[in-house]
Amino acid sequence: MSLNIEHFSVSSQVSTKASELFSEEQRRQRENVGRIEKIEVRYLGLPNDTTLIMNRELSTPYDCARHIGEKYCRQSALALLDNKTPWDMRRPLRDSCTLQLLNFTSPEPHLANKVFWRSCSFLLGAVLQASFKPEAGLYLHSFPKPNIKSGSFVHDIVLAQEHWNPTVPELRALSIEMIKLSQKDLPIERLDVSSDLAVEMFSDNPFKREQIPSVAAGNNGQVTVYRVGDHLDISKGPMMGSTGLLGRCTISAAHPIRDANEKAKFFYRMQGVALPAALRIGHFAYNVLENRSRKLNSAKLPNEPFEDAVAEQVA
C-alpha cells in the first residue's frame, strides 16, 4: 500500500470543498447573531480572578485568555464553564458564566487528558487523509470515545487492500507528519451544523453519511463538525484549541478488523500514543508507553451496530 508522505497539505478537491462549506456556514452563523449583547464572564484562576465583559455568541474562551495573558492562550487545552461544563477554547460563549482554563499540568488533568486523546484521534485522521494516495481507497470511518487507560488513541479506517501491514518506516513517516502538524500550530475549530449540511460536507464518505442520522438524532438534529486545516470530521468534542499542544507522538500499530470487512473494503484500527507538548518524560518511560500502545485497543469496533454504539463510536 503506497503512502504519499510529503508535507501536511490536503490536496483533495473534496476536502477543500467541505472546508469551504464549513467557512460559509461559520460566516452565516456569525452574521445571524444580529444585535450584539454583552455577557459577564467571571474568570477564576491565575494570575488573579477577574471579570470580563464579552460578546454573547461571538466571544470565546480563547478571546478571554487573550485578555488574561498570552501564555494562557498557548497553554490552555479547554475551558470549564460554571465549574461543570467542558467547553472548546474556540467555541462562542452563550451566556454569562464563570470560566476556568484547564491545561495538562493542572492538579486534576482528567478532563484535559480526555480532550487530548480525542484530539489525537482527530489529528491522526487528518494525517492519514493527507498521506495515502487516492488508489489506496482510504475512507475514515470513526474514532471511539477516549479511554486513557487503554494506552492508545485510535482511528478506524477502511482501505481497498486486504493485507496491509505498514512497515516501520511507514509508521515512522506518519508519526513525523503528526509532529509537523503540531509545529504548524493550527487552530482546531468547532461548528454545529444541520444534518443536511453535514451530508453535503461528507458527500465523498459513505460511512460518515450513514452515521449522520444517528448522530443528529442524539444531538437535537445537529451534527458537530471539527476542522483543522482543510480536514473535517465528526465528533462530540470538546477538542483542544490548537495542534501546537501536541508534543511527542508515535503512530504505533495498524490492526486489521476482519469481522468488519465488506466487499473490497477492508477495516483497520490505527493506533498511537502521544504526550502534550508541556510534558516531558524519559526515553525508557516513553518506550514503555510505545510498546503498550501497540496492543489492540478494545474500544468499540466499527462492525458493531452503529445505532447501538453511536456514543461509543463517534467520540
Enumerate domains of the chain plus CATH numbers.
38-109 (3.10.20.30), 110-294 (3.30.980.10)
Residue 279: CA count within 13 A, CB half-sphere: 19
CA dihedral 160, 165, 169, 174 (to 10 degrees): 50
126's grid cell: 487528518
Sequential pLDDT tens for the chain (315 residues):
556 544 333 345 567 899 999 999 999 999 999 899 999 999 999 999 999 999 999 999 999 999 999 999 999 999 999 999 999 999 999 999 999 999 998 888 899 999 999 999 999 999 999 999 888 999 999 999 888 889 999 999 999 988 899 999 999 999 999 999 999 999 999 999 999 999 999 999 999 999 999 999 999 999 999 999 999 999 999 999 999 999 999 999 999 998 767 777 899 999 999 999 999 999 999 999 999 999 999 998 887 764 444 444 456
125's grid cell: 485522521
For the chain, the C-alpha Rg in angstroms (whole number) is 19
Instruction: Please state, in angstroms and as integers, the Cα–Cα distance from residue 54 to each residue in 64, 152, 262, 288, following that order.
Output: 8, 38, 51, 46
Is the pTM here over 0.75, yes or no? yes
- Phi, psi angle pair for 119, to nearest 5°: -65, -35
60, with CB counted inside 10 A (0-12, 13-18, 19+), is buried
- CB-based contacts of 14-19 (< 8 A; 24+ apart in sequence): 14/203, 14/204, 15/129, 15/230, 15/231, 15/232, 16/230, 18/201, 18/202, 18/203, 18/230, 18/232, 19/227, 19/229, 19/230, 19/231, 19/232
197's grid cell: 449540511
